[in-house]
Every structure is written in C-alpha cells, then in structure tokens.
Structure 1
Amino acid sequence: MTRALITGPTAGIGHSFARALAAQGHDLVLVARDEQRLEAISAELSAEHGIDVEVVVADLTDPEAVSRVENALASTAKPVDLLVNNAGASLAGWFGTTDIADEDRQLDLLVRAPMHLMDTAIKVMSGRGHGQVINVASVAAFTPRGAYSAHKAWLVNLSQWADIHYADAGVRVMALCPGFVRTEFHQRGEMDVSGVPRWMWLKSDRLVRDALSDLAKGKRLSIPSKRYKVLSTISRYAPAPLVARVAKRGR
C-alpha cells in the first residue's frame, strides 16, 4: 500500500480522487475545512475498502493550517507517496471590482498553499527517491481570463518545470487541466453557467480515471477528453485578436 494526501476531497474532483485511490487500496490523508463531511467520507472509505484514512481539518488560506498539512506530508512514520493539490474556488466578479481581500484569499488558496505543499512533498519525496504530485489546474490556464486563470497558469508552469527538474530524483509532477466539470464548484462561487453547452461538461470520475492513467504514463500535463485537448491547443496558438475577444469575457 501507498499513502495519498488529497486537499479538497469532500466534493467534486477531490472526492473522485479519494474514491478512486481508496478503491486501488491506497491509504489516505484527507484535508478540508468541513470536519463533519471529512469524518463521514473517512468512515465510508475506510469501511468499504479496509484502508487507513487520516483527516486534517484545515483552511488552506490560513498559513498555520497549511503548516499542519505540511507536517502530515513530512511524516516519516506515515510517509505520503502521492500529493493531490486539488482544493480550489473561484470568485464570481471581475478582478478590479471584487474585494481585494477576497482576491488575497484566492491567491493563498490557489497559489500559496499548493506551492508550500509541493515544496514539502518534493523535499521529502526526493530524499526517499520516489513520489508523485498532481496539481489540479484548469484549461483556463491557457487563455488570459483574469486572476483565476493567472493562478492556474502559474501552477501549470511550475508543475512542468518541477517534473523536468526532479524526475531524475524519482519525483514526478503532473498538472491536471480540466474544463467544466459537474461539481459544486460553480454553485459555491455563485457563477452563472447556464450558457455553457452540455458538450463542454465533464464527469469527475472519468476525469480522475484518465488523470491517474496519465500519471502512470509519466505525463507532465493531463488534459481530459479529446474536446478539451483540441480547445486548449486552439487557445494556445490562436490569433491574438481571437484570444483578446475571449479574454474580455473572462474573469
């Protein structure tokens, strides 16, 4: 057995990762703010799959809470072999109209926390000679669409560099870039997604299955589904005027 630490496992993509890895026999460390949901998921997965599940109640916008998660990652008694940096959220408003304090919290959640956890994981894993990191980013990383896409672009860039740099030390890092996924994400952010066509929506269980397959193949970038592979390629190489029109509609 190996042990995986997952942030944001109480719903959506994180929950799918927790269930998929538990089904494969991995022990888990689950990190989220909602203690009640954490305990319920922990009991369910432990009973169903006979695995050890540890919970860490932590708000990843709080540096002290991030430190507690770093301690779990650095444990020598229960070493973590896979880190899934998944916790995330978004704001409904346009940058420049939102409260800058909310933007600060987003920066902490989407950049600072995964940076700190990845730093700890790489140091511990490279010392052991093996380990894996999945950073959940977004296809938004490939088009300028406000602060959220900027945060995800940063995460994709660092993930790809880290995989190149630390692969020889036995540590693989992969950026996962999904598109629209049927989760609580948009509802929590109070975002209107009524105009998003049905064909653009992905199912989180299938997405996670594909992501774990890509990780096993040693890919440093995982873009689930053929349609998003095409869309992300277009967004990276599209003419500048088209990119600008898309960016004007983004947050």
Structure 2
Amino acid sequence: MAIALLTGASAGLGEEFAWQLATAGHDVVLVARSRDRLGEVARLLEGATGRHAEILPADLTTEKGRSAVAARLQADERPVSLLVNNAGFGIGERFADSSWRHEKALLDIHVTAPLRLAHAAVPGMVERGHGAILNVASVAAHLGDTTYAAHKRWAVEFTQALAGQLDGTGVTATAVLPGLVRTRFHDSDALSHVRHEFPDPVWLDPEPVVRSALAAVRRGQTVVTPSPGYAVAGAVLRVVPKRLTRGRRSQQRG
C-alpha cells in the first residue's frame, strides 16, 4: 500500500494534500507540531476514507523534530513512497529588523527540513525503484524581495538538481509554485494585512492547487505552477531584471 508523508499537515495545503491522497487510496503520515490537531485530522480522514492516518508530532525548526521525521522516512516497515515537504510560515519582517531567532527558524523550516527529509527518504526510494519528492515552493521564488523568496528559490533549484540526479531511478522530484492561497498562512498578525492588499481573483483555493501538484507528480513533471495566471506572471518575472522585483516591503505571499 502506498504511503505518503506530509509535513505541515494540520491545516491549509498540508491538510488538503492529506485528504486528496487518502481519498485516492494512500495511507498517510501526518507531521506537524500540534498533536491534538493532528489527531483530529487523522480521525476525520480515517472515518471518511478508511485509510490509515499515522500522526507524527514534530517541530521541524529543531534538530530533534527533523531527526524524528527522518527516522520514520528511513524505516523499512511501511516505507514511505511520497514525501511532501509542505511545512512553512512567514515572518513579515525586513531582514534588518528581524531577529536571528526568527530568521534561523525560517531557514530551518524552508531549507534545512526539506533537505534533511529528502536526504533521508531518497536512498530507500531509489533502492525500491519508485518514489517521489514533492517540495512546496512559491511564485515568490521569482522575486528578490525577502529571505522567504530566497528560500523558495532554493526549493526550486534543489528540486531541479534532485530531479536530474534521480533520472532513470524510478524516483522523481517535483516543485509546486502556488501563489496566494486561501489558507491560514496569512492569519498571523505579521501577514494578515496581505489579505486586504490583493483582490479576490488572485487568491487560489487549496483544492485545485493540490490537485495540480499531485497530477504533476504522477506525470513526473519537475516544476508546476498551478494557475494559468500565476504561470504567466512567473514567466514574466523570470525575465524581468531582479532589481525591479526587489520590493521595499517584506511580506510573504504564500
């Protein structure tokens, strides 16, 4: 039975990934910080889909949390065939104004954790001859205005490098670049203003974003932008000089 491990699975895109994968017949391993919320999501999933939902509470900004999830990915019993690196957050601060604690946590959740977990998952997948890594990046990867954007650009570059190295192994790597998505990502005080600064039509619903991402995984596609509008915007931003995309304000767009 195919098993998918998802980080940031207690809400937003992560929860939507869990629902779509369980509905499609996958057992799931749900990773997030809150045991209570994970337990609630797991009970709902199992009751509605009949699939097994394992919970793994872990804080991926810590070495202890990353090691716990890495150990699950390296387990021979009930091996994971799909890793979804989805966990993330924004701090809404300019680099000069932010604390080192906040910047380190941001780096660890967006860069260190996906790298560590992919490194734990890939050898077993290659040995078994099948598997997939899905990294949730962002259209912010095309910008040059925040450390968040820099981290998401790394996610894209890492995925492309990984996909090249995995060619012919039966294992794939995919990066999905959503834009603004209606989740709890922008509920924090630091980012709540973003909801009022962009018109409703530019906001995406989680369901089609996840559906597009999983379809790209099935095709073995390396990079996917799950919206025609954002795909066009991304194509334009890739050729626009970076000095024009370096905004004066720091805000994570999702």
Q: Same fold (TM over 0.5)?
A: yes
Deviation digits for residues 45-77 of structure 1 (CA, Å, limit 9, x no counterpart): 111111111100100011011111011111111
Which residues of 2 match residues 111-122 of structure 1 at below 5 A? 111-122=111-122
Give the Cα–Cα distance (whole angstroms) in 2 for the partners of residues 46 and 198 of structure 1.
33
Deviation digits for residues 15-58 of structure 1 (CA, Å, limit 9, x no counterpart): 11000001001000000001111000111111111111110010
Change (3 A) 1:56 1:189: farther
Give the equivalent residue in structure 2 for 1:212: 214
Give the equivalent residue in structure 2 for 1:31: 31
Query: Does residue 246 in structure 1 map to residue 232 in structure 2?
Result: no
The TM-score, its normalising length taken from structure 1, stands at 0.96
Give the equivalent residue in structure 2 for 1:74: 74
SS of residue paired to 1:169: coil
Which stretches of structure 1, 4 residues or longer, exceed 3 Å deviation after superposition? none
Give the equivalent residue in structure 1 for 2:138: 138
Give the equivalent residue in structure 1 for 2:186: 186
Mark the runs of 5 or more structure 1 residues left unpaired by the alignment: none
1:90 touches 1:189 (CA, 8 Å); kept in 2? no
SS of residue paired to 2:102: helix
Give the Cα–Cα distance (whole angstroms) in 2 for the partners of residues 53 and 10 of structure 1.
12
Deviation digits for residues 116-160 of structure 1 (CA, Å, limit 9, x no counterpart): 001111111111111001000001111112100001111110101
Give the alignment partner of residue 223 of structure 1, picking from 222, 225, 229.
225
SS of residue paired to 1:21: helix
SS of residue paired to 1:180: coil
Alpha-carbon deviation of 1:244? 2.3
Give the equivalent residue in structure 1 for 2:55: 55
Give the Cα–Cα distance (whole angstroms) in 2 for the partners of residues 244 and 187 of structure 1.
29
The residue type paired with residue 248 of structure 1 is: G
Change (3 A) 1:189 1:120: farther
Deviation digits for residues 192-248 of structure 1 (CA, Å, limit 9, x no counterpart): 11111222100001110111111111110010110000000000012x2xx424312
Change (3 A) 1:189 1:130: farther
Cα RMSD for the two superposed structures: 1.1
1:7 touches 1:32 (CA, 8 Å); kept in 2? yes
Give the equivalent residue in structure 2 for 1:14: 14
Which residues of 2 match residues 166-205 of structure 1 at below 5 A? 166-188=166-188, 190-191=190-191, 192-193=193-194, 194-205=196-207
Give the equivalent residue in structure 2 for 1:94: 94
The residue type paired with residue 161 of structure 1 is: A
Alpha-carbon deviation of 1:190? 2.2
Alpha-carbon deviation of 1:250? 4.6
The TM-score, its normalising length taken from structure 2, stands at 0.95
Identical aligned residues as a percent: 38
